[in-house]
Amino acid sequence: MQEFQTFWRSRPLRALCVGWIAVATLAGCERSPHSTVAIDRDTTAPAAVSGASVVVPFTLLQPSGEPFESSSLRGKVWLASVFFANCPGTCFRENQAVADMLRAIPDPDFVAVSLTCDPENDTPDVLRRYAERFDAQPDRWKFLTGDMATIKEVANKTFLLPAEVGVHSERGVVFDRQGHLRGSYHLLQSDRVKLLEKLIREVLAETDSTAPHQRDSQEPSP
């Protein structure tokens, strides 16, 4: 114990140790030793919104190599998120939450759309193998890639989430059958995930007569 106290009183060594701890704390989701850390500090859960945003049509690539058209989501309630495959910590937890929700809500009208923000590395084949880690059913969980310009446009303009290479939000965004954004909650906090699941169930239960059709300007936090 006396030896440890002598060691800790050494200011240069103490500073070095504090620096190591700080680096370890911030490096939550790394693509590679040269990657940007993917951290979403915002944990505020916004209230559900009615028709805040409408899907901007897009085309991306599925793990099969076939094109994916956003129009195929019409009539579905879907959960959107952004990730990248080489992020073993944060993204794995994010996608595990998505997998748990898909199991908890087996309704075929509920699907997940997970968009990579590292398309150079996340080829269709890489995404196919990544999806297998979660036993993802291709008809219910869409892992998508494409060119970065399109990915940023989809994330920014439709999901209302930030996305750069290796940098993303940790939120899940819910869209209704008409393609309206209905709410956004953090995927790494269990209480937020419960609210997200509750919102999905509520939107699934809506009919044409009960679904809100107004389009207001309120947006959830990224």
- For the ranges 51-60, 71-80, 145-154, 211-220, the lowest mean pLDDT is seen at 211-220
What end-to-end distance do the CA atoms of the chain give, in Å? 47
Reported residue count of the chain is 222
CATH architecture of 59-204: 3-Layer(aba) Sandwich (3.40)
Give the H or E element holding residue 25: helix 11-26
Residue 156 has pLDDT above 80, yes or no: yes
Residue 61 one-letter amino acid: L
Residues 89-148: pLDDT tens digits?
A: 899 999 999 999 999 999 999 999 999 999 999 999 999 999 999 999 999 999 999 999
* Structure-block tokens of residue 54: 């409408």
pTM, full prediction? 0.74
Tell the residue number behind the tokens 């700080």, with chain if given.
Answer: 22
Q: For residue 104, what pLDDT is reported?
A: 97
DSSP alpha helix (H) spans, 33-111: 90-104
Q: What is the pLDDT of residue 219?
A: 37
Express each pLDDT in 7-48 by its tens digit: 344 444 344 333 332 333 333 344 433 333 333 344 333 434
Tell whether the model's pLDDT for residue 6 goes beyond 80.
Answer: no
Burial 29-61 (b: 16+ CB within 10 A, else e): bbbeeebeebebeeeebbebbbbbbebeebebb
Q: What is the DSSP letter of 31?
A: S
